[in-house]
Amino acid sequence: MNLLMCPICRAALQQEGKRWYCEHNHSYDVAKQGYVNLHVVQHKHSKQPGDTPQSVEARRAFLSAGFYAPLQQAVVQLLHKLRVENLLDIGCGEGYYSSAMQAEVMQCVGVDIAKNAVQIAAKLNSEVTWVVATGAVLPVLDESIDLCSSLFSPIPEAEILRVLKDKAYLLVVTPATEHLYAMREALFDQVTPHQPEKFVAQLEGNFDLVEQQVINADLHLNQQQLSHLIAMTPYAYKAKVEKREALQQREALDVTASFQMYLFQKK
């Protein structure tokens, strides 16, 4: 079953060879890397939206080394238990999580606003439908999705409600209270704990919280790995330059990554 929607007229898209098209003759070519760009100019607010190429490359290098594998495995185990037919991964980035989740479903759509990230993702797993698009206008048909996932990504609640089937699921992963505390301690004069519970309050009007868990991963990072981690987080530009440079000079760092995972169900 096709899940994609034309971002211009909102009609269903069909695939024919190397293009997607709708009944109103809006047409979108599949790029040579295997993704389709549905981020139309009407929805763009900058020339290069999303993560920078440097951030994407740092995250690809860091994740491919397996440091966040405990989280990836926890997400896959949850999907295996739920046995949903399809999923939409919002903010899929370079595809580390969506590619793993694809093995547990019949159809997986990965969406991200950063074209450079989706280009990398499309080389990873050709079984995923990779799409460049904005979460503000998800190019997916109404009430077609069994599970939406947002892993460290924005949560466009109105759009998620539109695309989810009745009683379907929303999986949210966000930093837990003490996530990367040792690294943040080195970067900032004062460390403010993350507040993952804010998402429960934000979503309680339209979603029931089904289950939650915290996944921890103890990391021993060398200098290069530490640099990759800094570059892929928002801390890279929020910290003072001198503190960031001092941390990047360290030969190694022991730090714990702590992830809060929430599973919600649409009311």
Residue 66 among known ligand-binding residues: no
Helix (H, G, I), strand (E, B) or coil at 146: strand
Tell me whether strands 145-151 and 129-132 are parallel, antiparallel or unpaired: unpaired
3-state secondary structure 67-119: CCHHHHHHHHHHHHHHCCCEEEEECCCCCHHHHHHHCCCCEEEEEECCHHHHH
* Tokens read off for 159: 């759009």
Q: Is 21 annotated as a binding residue?
A: no
Q: Judge whether 160 and 170 are in contact, CB under 8 Å.
A: yes
Task: Copy the structure tokens of residue 4.
Answer: 């994609």
Closest to 139 measured CA to CA, from 117, 158, 163, 114: 163
Residue pointed to by tokens 């999923």: 87
22 is in an annotated binding site: yes
CA nearest to 232, candidates 55, 69, 114, 49 = 55
Q: Tokens at residue 100, please?
A: 């793993």
| Measured distance CA(115)–CA(198) in Å, rounded | 30
Separation between Cα atoms, residue 181 and residue 172, nearest integer Å: 21
Is 228 flagged in the annotation as binding? Answer: no
CA 76/CA 224 separation, integer angstroms: 28
Token readout for 212 is: 């939650």
Q: Are 133 and 38 in contact (CB under 8 A)?
A: yes
- Binding residues, as ranges, are 6, 9, 22, 26, 68, 94-95, 179
Residues contributing to the annotated binding site for S-adenosyl-L-methionine: 68, 94-95, 179
Residues annotated in a binding site for Zn(2+):
6, 9, 22, 26
